[in-house]
Structure 1
Amino acid sequence: MVIPGGPCRNPVYLGDLGGLAAHRPLAIVHVRGAGRTGHLSRGWWNDADDVLAVVDALGLEAPDVLAHSAGTRLAIAAATRFEGRFRSLALVTPAAAWLTGTAHDGAAVAARRKEPEVAAAVAAFNEPDPEDDRQFAEALRVQAPAGYARWAVREQRHAGLGASTLAAARAWFRDVPDDAAERVRAAALPPTLVVGGAEDILSGVEPVRAYADALGAGLAWIEKCGHYPWVERPQEFIHAVVPWCVAAR
């Protein structure tokens, strides 16, 4: 099972995950507020019910779950709330700082970059929050170069895939328990792999390292890579994820 990020981004941006579909059959979840769904999220903690509903509808006893970015919150919420229903987790460039409170170091990663588009992207993170979908889409467009270790044609094309909406993104964060992080850290999670990009401005580096430690997870770093390793370094991504899924069986 594959859970997209965004939050609530149309999962078309995942493609075939750099060729992962040739190694494992993929069931890509359209979370509430994204893609083919017509309902806004009830908050990522509560939407774990939806993940279990998909597992049951597909007749899966204990699937491997791969989640990207914001979708990693939903994946570990499901694994926390429904222990024993998932065989393994692969958490790719996770939204990490919330779990441990580790200071985000994306600015230090960005300081190594020279492209003016990246500087503009980082500056845009400090702009006032958008008030409508037009402003939201424009903010995402300006911020997009920060998602990649290089801002070339392939990355620019990928950045345009998979829209989200302001309402969906806001709904994703509602009604999350105050003790969600503590409940995750105390849970008996299945074997877990964290995949980090060594040049990921969005997730940072130290927050991802601390996140993996807190989860007792394996950690695979992909060099010269930002937030989308299956786009930027597909071979390295496959080499990290496929053996992990096999080993977790």
Structure 2
Amino acid sequence: MAEAVVAQAADGREIRITLLGDSDGLPLVVLPGGPCRDPEYLGDLAGLADIRPLAILHVRGTSKTGGTSWGWWNDAADAVAALDRLGLDSADVLAHSAGTRLALSLATQHPERVRSLALITPPSTWLSGVEYDGAGLVADREEPEVAQAFASMLGPDPTDEEAFQRAWEREQPAGYGHWTERERSHAPVGGMSLAASTAWFDGIPADARERILRAPLPPTLIAGGALDILTGVAPVRAYAEQLGARLAMISDAGHYPWVEQPAAFRRVIDPWATATR
């Protein structure tokens, strides 16, 4: 059963939070990717809500919270407001894709509020400095939609909302290790906008990367997709090493492993999710 609660941000913005699951224990705080994608695409993370309640943030720029992001570094203040609303002095935080930047920002600026991290298919080149190697994964794929998606990714950035939506639709096949009816059904779930996605990268301190790498981060799990064209593989391995994190690469999965390999995803995430509940 889903329940909605609201956290009050410092500027008065109401940050929406969806609570899923009625299992025992403190909720896992979940930060969606996108950036600023409506978090319905996460579902219940392959049934994870059955063993631990989920508190899923609708970050600034999503349709239910509205507004635009202050940038992933500064949006940590909203996450703190959500923790306060949930009555959590310290939380286990699970983040997906672009949301992993917000998770690292929160853990770096407010280390006392984060007990552990699980970072799912994190974009990694920006932090690891290792060259993107996703082109090799594209070469192994036979679906023409994947090649077309990758060509779109390499093209010019869209400059208006209509072009952004067209590009996002074209590029969806690159997010998956396969392109069957299962993936096609999941791909459109959870909208994004150009304005919100652009604002996500505003106001980031020039030394944000260095501050993250110097920070005493909590115990951290990285779950990568072995077929993730969006992140590549080598950058994710280096990212985990530089953060001092445990890395689990999920075979036969792209950017959304709970969709394509739900059982394998749960084998990776469940021990982390139940360790501190």
Q: Secondary structure at the match of 1:60?
A: coil
| Identity within the alignment, % | 57
Q: Is the 8 A contact 2:224 2:236 kept in 1?
A: yes
Q: Is the 8 A contact 1:20 1:242 kept in 2?
A: yes
1:204 matches 2:232: yes
Give the TM-score normalised by structure 2: 0.88
SS class of match (1:64): strand
Residues 71-90 of structure 1 aligned to structure 2 (within 5 Å): 71-90=99-118
Cα deviation, 1:96-154, whole Å, max 9, x if unaligned, reads 11112110111111111111000000000122211211111110110000000000001
Give yes or no for contact 2:52–2:274 (8 Å, CA) kept in 1: no
Matches within 5 A, 1:1-249: 1-248=29-276
Supply the AA of the counterpart residue of 1:137.
Q
Looking at structure 2, the residues matched to 170 and 45 of structure 1 have their Cα atoms a distance apart, in angstroms, of 14
Secondary structure at the counterpart of residue 29 of structure 1 = strand
For the residue of structure 2 that corresponds to 1:190, the secondary structure is coil
Structure 1 window deviating more from structure 2 (237-246 vs 90-99): it is: 237-246
Aligned equivalents of 2:119 and 2:184: distance in 1?
24
Q: Deviations over 1:56-80 (max 9, x none)?
A: 1110121110000000000010000
Calculate the TM-score normalised by the size of structure 1: 0.98
Quick one: distance in 1 between partners of 2:40 and 2:52? 18
Structure 1 residue runs of 5 or longer lacking an equivalent are none
How many residue pairs get matched? 249
Q: Distance in 2 between matches of 1:63 and 1:180?
A: 22
Q: Out of 125-134 and 111-120, give the one that drifted further.
A: 125-134
CA distance in 2, matches of 1:100, 1:126: 21
Q: Which amino acid aligns with 2:210?
A: E
What letter matches 1:93 in structure 2?
Answer: T
Greater relative CO, 1 or 2 (CA 8 Å, sep 6+): 1
Specify which structure has the higher proportion of strand. 2
Distance 2:228 2:154 in 1: 18
Q: Segments of 4+ in structure 1 off by > 3 A?
A: none
RMSD, aligned α-carbons: 0.9
Give the Cα–Cα distance (whole angstroms) in 2 for the partners of residues 195 and 113 of structure 1.
Answer: 22
Look up the equivalent residue of 1:235 and give its one-letter code.
A
Q: Which amino acid aligns with 2:120?
A: V
1:248: Cα distance to partner? 4.8
Unaligned residue ranges in structure 2 (runs of 5+): 1-28
Residue 156 of structure 2 aligns with an amino acid whose one-letter code is P
